[in-house]
Structure 1
């Protein structure tokens, strides 16, 4: 998941019936304990940065309870107002409410995903139901919605700009939650949402435990032939940090294919690693998420039906750029038709290559593909990943690449500071300064994997930008790179370097926000637009001036030789059908589940069969190119905020390629173009219609999907 939708409320679309609104009373001892809780008052650190030197795991639950009570009182003040509802006394008052809860929950949800200790996990089990019930309480507060609806009906025509957008978004959020439902359906919605919150939490907690359980242990270094010295060192380090059951440990990452397979010569070990990955949660081992999956799917479908939609996909897509499943499938069919011939040709070529050394009867298996593809790539382009990794020192990629590009394009400068505490010693913190020296934001980065962190990479915020609240953005990126042993530099692969640029694109979307209202600022945009800034920012990684600035040997400081650079960059689209195919397959799995009615959801023991039939139906059933995430470990969909929305990565990539094309035509590192993109896109948040935002910058009336295939090296256009 590349952007972290950090509130459960966004992930589940919670809405239920009204709960008792009376504030609880407490003893003086309890009240004093809450008052001394470091989360209950804004931090005294610069810009309100979280004071992790004082925050303990024990503080979150009481702080969240107190913050809920505080906002409950703020909501009561709105509903008890005897004056006629207006934008100021109702919608704006609602926007002002809940600052403490926003602050506390933003910090809490960061640590639940990036550093989930047993204490945090225990607190989460109590906190999620509390937040679920409170969001239900708000969204089905009849008096509150009545006032909002009155403003919508009587004052909307007089509003302009962000005020109008805020009213529309607030009103729509209540309606989509079910505020117009009859009482009996509200009651059922309450039950559905409580169950969904618990199921999604359980699913998210299961995945890292399952990945840890199926880690592949190896005693004999000979079995690891083909791995580099740095990879071997990492396997030793992972073994030590996980209890030392054997000398080496291969950790399973969150995707289906495991990157380490590209180097392992031992076919039997490749098969073990691949099977550990695909079977981690499918019921063949200690963990089985299929019962959770089918329950989540059924409840989502029923929720959509209560809201008057055919299925959950129809309900979800009604609120994004794509609008409906017909548009999404039309988009996907264009890509699939161009993808299939190239994918088949690639598979045949890889198998033929393998047979040159393995014999004419060799049958290529999915656990073989990355290995032989990597060998073909080395032979065709005459270089290996081990040759280029010394030029991708993580510190240089960040400072001389990611930050340098942002300086050239947007005029930003970054200064590391050491006075702000963090939740983990691996983190770094930077001041973000505008071209005129004005402080724009704080940026935290947490790049290294650990057992307490979920898989993947994401961005979120401790605090969003808001002129109305007087807030500067405090943004963070989280990744899962393997940290080198002490005393050695952490060297990245090209894909990992691109991930840093990607996540920083999200960070820029938050940092450069210039909006009045917290609700509309930063990345608070439609799911199929939110990946545009991040995917576009990847394009800077390969621009010659930027590349030459960061791709320097960690020992000598010398730039990557032109010949090696030419080989590496020239190989980027080698066997590109694989990356597109695994994404298309995952996308279609997601849509297939969410296009079912509640009565069509299969039983848990038929879930894998359903995935197979769904892929076959769209022509994507291919053992050689499995989904990037299979049903049983698809956290974006079952534990995160991308249900019926995984297509958005490809959709947004089209937007990003179109934007990159505009930059390339007008000067990719030109401040004039960067400032225009900042003013028209990055700063606007959700204050305007998003297609208009896209068109205003690119000049295109609609996204050009053909550009995506061209960028991925496909000769045939769509």
Structure 2
């Protein structure tokens, strides 16, 4: 069989996306790639995969693992490369030119996926291999066969023609709607910026934060001297310090209403149509709702199991949340008077003041010790070196898609090159909100391919010549996303389809949430929490107060996550006939939260429906619960590390061998059990770890 790259070489193309790079690792050559290269590259790569699929179908020999399953694994190799590069930029640096290309590319990709998934002749060969060779195959070969066969079945390969045709239509429409969502939500978030005319209105902010507001105003067209940008979550961290209550209210409401139709943008028509189409998909496949359909392939298995897990947490959390709110309001009334009523835009502000009074610690006091460069090199990388034996060498010879990026070669304990790791930490208007990990290339022994992994965040970049200082939340976000990166970097699998983070949603967040635990381990903390001017470590008394403050009034963080999780599930537990109209969407969300005891003005969902990108723009539909589910797994894993020595290389090697290197090559619960020695996760550890 002609491989994808050979086919392109035969075509003698000059498109850098379709050629083996001269650079190490076959890295994307961003110095050479032009915007005009993407569409022809997709056209060529799609043509290449079509031809490869046709060769499988036309093969005169009986279907075997080699001539069908391995051939199918190989068929989309070139398209995988082109897609990974293009969609990395769509997420992190989406220019208007790239957005126009995306509008053309998405229907092409959806057409191809439909064409492949509903190719009866191809599926018949896959089914023959599954029926005849499954039991004789072992290890990753058997797992690759299972995953390939089940993917076709779940997409509708066994459906009758009429239902198959409808599934194709649904797939195309959902892809189109998600593209609309991907355009609208970042635009809505950027448009929600709050303009400020007078510096005195920013009282309470540090000089560095005020300078950042001035810089943001400059970047966004300078309609006023200062701009407060809105981040992706409901609550805005800037409310912690902003003295001006009316401005706090304005910022909070700009966040909440960014895309609900009260202003320029309204995502509810997209939300309701996506939810209806997903419900119809599930019904065509024989499930009562999309949640039942989606959860079948996860660790949780059923909505009932997820709700049982959530109800247990809610019952323990609710009284603590109420007590926390009363404490903050009582504290605020000491200065604002007995008639003062705490509002959601007040909560962070008075909680921070209360924390300062009780624990004598504030963000402004600790931020000078969290220089982003030190957090990365002396914290994130240092922990990975101590636990897993990895070292990181910055590579300034590697082309990058944006000047803010950096690239590092990852070298294993045996001195051999293991991966490339890119960072892209600073926010910009062309980047979507949030933080994430992905890869330009996944690890695969079959393809003789080492991983090229990247982390993206949205921290503020300091003005030229000043250090970029982080909040504690941003510090833990860097550790979190690097946990995902390690899952990709340390992968040691035969097949691309199974490697790295190609695991169920309610397992994939475990390595990342576990990696957060390294941020507060004393030896690691002391190594990176260095004052940006003096280079001295954080004083012991401040460190003690700061670490003690991590779980101060932590009910909020759990509550906003629980609320968002229940909003997600509520939308995906509906039959298609019961999906609300766009005009009813707000009321539907509120009623869904009321029914589970989470309708709380003081603790709104981390994401309201209208900007819930994980669910309506990403791959977490009926799966946002996985952040809490995997946090349980992560706490259990962290307990094992603590028992054996948090930076014990033997424990790190055990984690590599039993979890991080294995991708989706085995049963995920068994992997967890093999490492922890536990038959089932211990959910009680979650509230303990959060200080509740």
User: Contact between 1:281 and 1:288, CA under 8 Å: does it hold in 2?
Assistant: yes
Helix, strand or coil at the partner of 2:393: strand
> Corresponding residue for 2:474?
496
Distance between the aligned counterparts of 1:42 and 1:603, measured in 2?
50
Following superposition, the deviation at residue 31 of structure 1 comes to 11
Answer yes or no: is 1:297 the counterpart of 2:280.
no
The verdict on how the C-alpha distance between 1:263 and 1:34 changes in structure 2, with shifts beyond 3 A counting, is: farther
- Aligned position for 1:517: 495
Does residue 108 of structure 1 match 2:81?
A: no
In structure 1, the gaps of 5 or more residues are: 1-29
Indicate the residue corresponding to 1:679 in structure 2.
657
Cα pair 1:34 1:63 within 8 Å, conserved: no
1:183-582 to structure 2, matched below 5 A, reads 183-582=161-560
* Matches of 1:124 and 1:58, distance apart in 2: 12
Query: 2:303 & 2:375 partners in 1: Cα distance?
Result: 39
Other structure's SS at 1:531 match = helix
CA shift for structure 1 position 603:
0.6
SS at match of 1:414: strand
Aligned match of 1:10? none
Matching residue of 1:153: 131
Q: CA separation in 2, counterparts of 1:290 and 1:535?
A: 31
How far 1:41 sits from its partner (Å)?
1.2
Q: What secondary structure, in the 3-state scheme, does the structure 2 residue paired with 1:446 have?
A: strand
How big is each residue's C-alpha offset from its partner over 1:222-278, in whole Å with a ceiling of 9 and x where there is no partner?
111100111101000000000010010000000000100010111100000011000
Say whether 1:593 aligns with 2:585. no
Distance in 1 separating the partners of 2:362 and 2:84: 42
In the TM superposition, what is the alpha-carbon distance from 1:34 to its structure 2 partner? 7.8
Shift of 1:595: 0.1
Contact 2:84-2:441 at 8 Å conserved across structures:
yes
> Quick one: distance in 1 between partners of 2:687 and 2:360?
26
1:622 aligns with 2:606: no
Q: Supply the distance in 2 between the matched residues of 1:214 and 1:101 (Cα, whole angstroms).
A: 36
Aligned to 1:584: 562
Write out per-residue CA displacement over residues 89-125 of structure 1, whole angstroms, 9 at most, x where no aligned residue. 1001111111110100000000001000111000000
Cα deviation digits, residues 197-238 of structure 1 (max 9, x gap)? 010111121111011111000011111110011110100000
Regions of 4+ moved over 6 Å: 30-34
Residue deviations 1:598-651 (CA, integer Å, cap 9, x gap):
000001100000000000000000000000000000000000000000000000
Aligned mates of 2:617, 2:189 — CA distance in 1: 15
Q: Structure 1 CA distance, aligned partners of 2:514 and 2:133?
A: 39
Q: 1:31 to 1:127 in 2, by over 3 A?
A: farther
Q: List gaps (5 residues or longer) in structure 2.
A: 1-7
Taking the aligned partners of 1:251 and 1:58, their CA distance within structure 2 comes to 32
**SS of equivalent to 2:17:** coil
| 1:11 counterpart residue number | none
Tell me how far apart the structure 2 counterparts of residues 204 and 581 of structure 1 sit (CA, whole Å). 27
Q: Deviations over 1:579-599 (max 9, x none)?
A: 000000000000000000000
Partner secondary structure for residue 364 of structure 1: coil
> Retained in 2: the 8 A contact 1:41–1:100?
no
Which residue matches 1:131?
109
Distance 1:582 1:361 in 2: 27
Task: Tell me: CA distance 1:32–1:247, structure 2 relative to 1, closer, same or farther (3 Å).
Answer: farther
Question: Which residue of the partner structure matches residue 611 of structure 1?
Answer: 589
SS in 1 for 2:16: coil
* Greater relative contact order structure (CA < 8 Å, 6+ sep): 1
Once the two structures are superposed, the pairs formed by residues 18-97 of structure 1 within 5 Å of their partners are 35-97=13-75
- The count of aligned residue pairs is 685
Distance of 1:42 and 1:329 partners within structure 2:
48
CA contact 1:34–1:40 (8 Å) conserved in 2: no
Distance in structure 1 (CA, Å) of the matches to 2:299 and 2:10 = 48
Q: Quick one: distance in 2 between partners of 1:521 and 1:33?
A: 30
Q: CA–CA distance in 2 between the matches of 1:130 and 1:33? A: 21
User: Normalization by structure 1: what TM-score?
Assistant: 0.95
Does the 8 A contact of 2:9 with 2:19 survive in 1? no
- Rounded to whole Å, the distance in 1 between the matches of 2:413 and 2:133 is 40
For 1:498 and 1:214, the matched residues in 2 are separated by 26
Report what 1:6 is aligned to. Answer: none
Alpha-carbon distance in 2 for matches of 1:34, 1:494: 51
2:424 partner SS? strand
Give me the CA root mean square deviation.
1.0
